[in-house]
């Protein structure tokens, strides 16, 4: 079966700074993969390359077997419809009300009628633990964690085939974080979506992932089933999941 | 010496890259402005923002310009006993030059800045990326409605400014300089030709296009947070103002430069 997403030898640099240095990853249909890795290692950049928001210098990115590099505008639009993305910073439209944000993909992308889209938006807000009345507020009137959840609701509102979650639980309290974990699992198991997530929260990573990949210095140094993460035999992974300051990964600090 | 040449070369290349990027942006913007899907809701919002909320500032500019023009031309022309030309001078200067250029500059300050700031903030907070992932083309959703509204509304604003400017001249002419009201009005119409107004409105449409284009362009390519958005705002206003002055000459030469 063709993988849902397939990256081969993806390189991305900003000027002299190499961020991705040959990424190979393949995600099967309905699978949930979590990418872990230190801050600033290029996890978000990797997602943006797959979405076509950033253009890698070399390498191939295939979605459902179709190469997306150099794809025409029409095909790209068609591929985009398969995706939902939760941005790390939320990226809510601040000129639109919360429900309009959530319903955006339905109204603009699918040309759904506003009233109908609104009902779906309210339902999605409920799924992320937000009351219907929140829908009439503007994003600036919400707390950081609430914005994150609205953004999550927006990412899943169109029931996309592929969903990217960039740090879905960051900034949430532990209970709400677990509600969101359950929601992500539900999206994959019940709706059959393929998920690629980024998180620093190991509890969340264990819960939502089938496989975990660790990004370090521009490469995926370890990819394996989530249950193997504790005995990966990789000292980088060990250091990371236990959050030790001492180990092979050295933070570039200056005393 | 080598390093000097290298610097010159680098600046020149950067300039070419900039021109290329701007041309590509303009082509994209125009092509999306004329092709569906359209967003009537957003076009209306921009129309109101540009056409309606600019009225006070444009009107105020026009009325004072007309008043000053009447005073100045009266005192200047009295040196060779040509005071009678005041009404004609006012209406020709206002319709051909002053209304479009001053309204253009005022709107550039108002609209160009706010567009660059809004789109720039959307860029740095990844809202433009989010649009793309929600199957919405940012050119269609953000750029096209603004450019369309700017190109359509500036002529409207300038027409209003024409009327108010002439009215300002009339007030000063009649109540301060002692012209007979009927004579002043007759003089205003006497030498006015349709082309005077049409050329002014043509300028207005071009300026409206340039202002919104510069606002969108600078916002769209802004980067680096609040500082980047600030720089984009400044660039949008300055580049729009300069282009208004340059294109004002070009269009004048096309219409009247025999
Ligand atoms: N637009 C850009 N221009 C230049 N450099 C960039 C850009 N975007 C990202 N980078 C650089 O790429 C590197 C990776 O960034 P990225 O956002 O992917 O990190 P990350 O792994 O998601 O980190 P975090 O966990 O903190 O979110 C960073 O060092 C950053 O400086
Ligand atoms: Mg990130």
How do residues A71-87 score in pLDDT, each as one tens digit? 888 888 888 889 999 99
Q: Which ligand is nearest to the CA of A19?
A: 1
Q: Is residue B107 part of a domain?
A: yes
CATH code at position A250: 3.40.50.300
Query: Between the CA of residue A38 and those of A6, A7, A159, A239, B61, what are the distances in Å?
Result: 23, 20, 30, 11, 57
For residue A234, tell me if it sits in a domain.
yes
Residue A240 lies in a domain: yes
Query: Tokens 């009005």 map to which residue?
Result: B185
In a domain, A182, yes or no: no
CA distance A162 to B64: 60
Mean pLDDT of chain A: 90
Residue to mutate (ligand 1; options A20, A37, A40; most atoms within 8 A of CB): A40
Maximum Cα–Cα distance across chain A: 59
Atom 18, ligand 1: which residue's CA is nearest? A42
Tokens in use for A164? 């990217």
pTM of the model: 0.90
Pick the closest to residue B139 from B34, B244, B17 (CA basis): B34
- Ligand 1 mutation pick, A12, A20, A41, max ligand atoms within 8 A of CB: A41
Residue A148 lies in a domain: no
Ligand 1 center to residue B71 CA distance, Å? 61
Q: Does A35 fall in a domain?
A: yes
B145 min Cα distance to partner chain A (Å): 15
Residue B25 lies inside a defined structural domain of this protein: no
Nearest CA to ligand 1 atom 31: A40
Q: Ligand 1 mean position to A54 CA, how many Å?
A: 12
Q: Is residue B11 part of a domain?
A: no
User: Domain count of chain A?
Assistant: 1
Compute the distance between CA of residue B91 and CA of residue B170 in angstroms, rounded to an integer: 10
Q: What's residue B155's pLDDT?
A: 97
Q: What is the pLDDT of residue B80?
A: 87
CB contact under 8 A, B132 and A52: yes
Residue among B79, B43, B87 nearest B187 (CA) = B87
Domain extent, residue A244, equals: 1-77+193-255
Residue A215 lies in a domain: yes
Domain extent at residue B210: 37-256
A154-209, pLDDT tens digit by residue? 999 999 999 999 999 988 899 889 988 988 888 888 888 999 999 998 999 999 99
Tens digits of residue pLDDT in A87-120:
999 899 999 999 999 999 999 888 889 999 999 9
Mean pLDDT of chain B: 93
In a domain, B6, yes or no: no
Based on the structure, what is the number of domains in chain B? 1
Tell whether B196 is covered by a domain: yes
* Residue A108 forms part of a structural domain: no
> What residue owns the CA closest to ligand 1's atom 28?
A40
A56: contact with B, CB 8 A cutoff: no
Residue A23 β-bridge partners: A10
Distance CA A111, CA A108 (A): 5
Nearest-angstrom CA–CA distance, A37 and A239: 11
């Amino acid at each position: 079966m063709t993988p849902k997403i397939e990256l081969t030898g993806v390189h991305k640099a900003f000027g002299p700074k190499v961020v991705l240095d040959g990424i190979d990853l393949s995600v099967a249909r309905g699978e949930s993969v979590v990418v872990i890795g230190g801050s600033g290692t290029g996890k978000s950049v990797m997602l943006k390359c797959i979405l076509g928001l950033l253009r890698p210098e070399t390498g191939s990115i295939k979605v459902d077997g179709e190469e997306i590099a150099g794809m025409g505008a029409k095909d790209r639009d068609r591929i985009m419809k398969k995706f939902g993305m939760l941005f790390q910073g939320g990226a809510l439209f601040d000129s639109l009300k919360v429900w309009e944000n959530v319903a955006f993909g339905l109204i603009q992308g699918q040309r759904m009628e506003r009233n109908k889209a609104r009902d779906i938006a309210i339902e999605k807000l409920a799924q992320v633990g937000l009351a219907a009345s929140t829908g009439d507020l503007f994003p600036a009137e919400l707390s950081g964690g609430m914005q994150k959840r609205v953004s999550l609701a927006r990412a899943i509102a169109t029931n996309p085939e592929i969903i990217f979650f960039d740090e879905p639980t960051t900034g949430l309290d532990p209970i709400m974080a677990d509600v969101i974990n359950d929601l992500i699992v539900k999206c994959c198991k019940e709706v059959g979506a393929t998920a690629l997530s980024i998180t620093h929260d190991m509890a969340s990573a264990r819960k939502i992932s089938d496989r975990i990949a660790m990004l370090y210095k521009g490469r995926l140094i370890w990819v394996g089933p989530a249950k193997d993460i504790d005995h990966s035999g990789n000292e980088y992974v060990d250091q990371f999941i236990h959050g030790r300051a001492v180990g092979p990964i050295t933070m570039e600090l200056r005393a | 010496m080598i390093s000097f040449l290298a610097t010159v070369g680098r600046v020149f290349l950067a300039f070419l890259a900039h021109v290329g990027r701007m041309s590509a942006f303009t082509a994209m913007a125009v092509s999306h402005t004329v092709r569906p899907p359209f967003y009537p809701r957003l076009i209306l919002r921009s129309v109101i923002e540009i056409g309606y909320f600019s009225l006070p500032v444009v009107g105020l500019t026009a009325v004072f310009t007309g008043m000053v023009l009447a005073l100045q031309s009266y005192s200047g022309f009295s040196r060779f006993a040509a005071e009678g030309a005041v009404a004609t001078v006012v209406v020709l200067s206002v319709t051909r030059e002053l209304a479009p250029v001053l309204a253009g500059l005022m709107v550039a300050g108002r609209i160009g800045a706010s567009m660059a700031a809004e789109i720039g903030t959307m860029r740095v907070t990844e809202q433009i990326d989010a649009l793309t992932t929600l199957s919405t083309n940012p050119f269609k959703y953000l750029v096209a409605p603004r450019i369309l509204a700017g190109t359509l509304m500036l002529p409207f604003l300038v027409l209003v400014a024409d009327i108010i400017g002439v009215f300002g001249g009339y007030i000063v002419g009649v109540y301060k300089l002692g012209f007979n009201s009927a004579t002043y009005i007759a003089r205003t119409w006497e030498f006015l030709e349709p082309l005077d107004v049409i050329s002014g409105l043509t300028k207005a449409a071009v300026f409206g296009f340039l202002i919104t284009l510069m606002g969108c362009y600078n916002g769209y390519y802004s980067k680096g947070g609040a500082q980047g958005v600030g720089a984009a705002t400044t660039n949008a206003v300055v580049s729009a103002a300069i282009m208004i002055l340059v294109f004002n000459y070009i269009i004048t030469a096309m219409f009247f430069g025999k």
